[in-house]
Structure 1
Amino acid sequence: MATSETSLHTEQESLSLWNFSTAGVIAGLVAGVLNNLWIMIYPLATSYKVPGGIDTMSVTIFSFFPMLVAGIVYYLICLSGFKKGTKIYLIAGGIFLLMSFYFPLFPETIGFIFPEGVPKGFAALTIPMHIFAGVMALILIPKFVKANHGK
């Protein structure tokens, strides 16, 4: 009994909020770069223009901060155990990624954001950005944390 309590205590001590936050920052920077590249490529790859209000600054902010939050949430989930927490984080993150496709696929539900209607090609613009950010959250953050776990 004392051994399991000691190992749990030691595992919790080796978890570092700094490590998880740094992973979120790195993932946010990578997601921001990828998403900004996508908004530059999008008009060339499709016949649509990027809608007003979607620019480098907004894409960077909305790519970066969710990754930082994901790193902190991952840390909080892992306080109950690193392996179990990682499994929960990956499952929940996958569910959130799939849920994030709802608005691009059913844009009529967000018509109030675009007074003149949802722009054509909105799903083609936003779904790849959700995928880039989701991959960073689900792959890069856990890999970075695992590589630095216990150091």
Structure 2
Amino acid sequence: MAYWLFKSEPSTWSWDDQVAKGDAGEEWDGVRNYQARNMMRQMKLGDLGFFYHSQKDKEIVGVVEVCAEIHPDSTTDDARWECVDIKAVAPMPNPVTLAMCKEEPALKDMVLVNNTRLSVQPVTEAEWSYICKLGGYSHKG
């Protein structure tokens, strides 16, 4: 299993919007960055990710699961752009802010800490476990 982070502006697509989609999940569409798209190409069913609110709050607010592997992005006719579908798993009991991540020496190499603009990011297993602990999320897998 691999771990990821999905960033969204809450005014565009929020954690509540994601939760409302239920087990069917939703396309992580609209990504127009090759690096982020290529990461989605690596994702497998059951991979887990953090749902991150960007802009104002800058915090991890939930956990999501990849529920459909890479496929054409339905928001464009341009075949270069593909996406996965994700579904909400659980809220993060205590949201983990970007500031908290930057203060933790164990997270100094995390992509989020060093490249806050990338909308889809890999998360190492050690980073995943550490953030889950910080946020009070008991995970399996």
TM-score range for the pair, normalised by the shorter chain length? under 0.3
Q: Which structure's relative contact order is higher, taking Cα pairs within 8 Å and 6+ residues apart?
A: 1
TM-score (normalised: structure 1): 0.24
Higher strand share: 2
Higher helix share: 1
Q: Flag the structure with larger Rg.
A: 1
TM-score (normalised: structure 2): 0.25
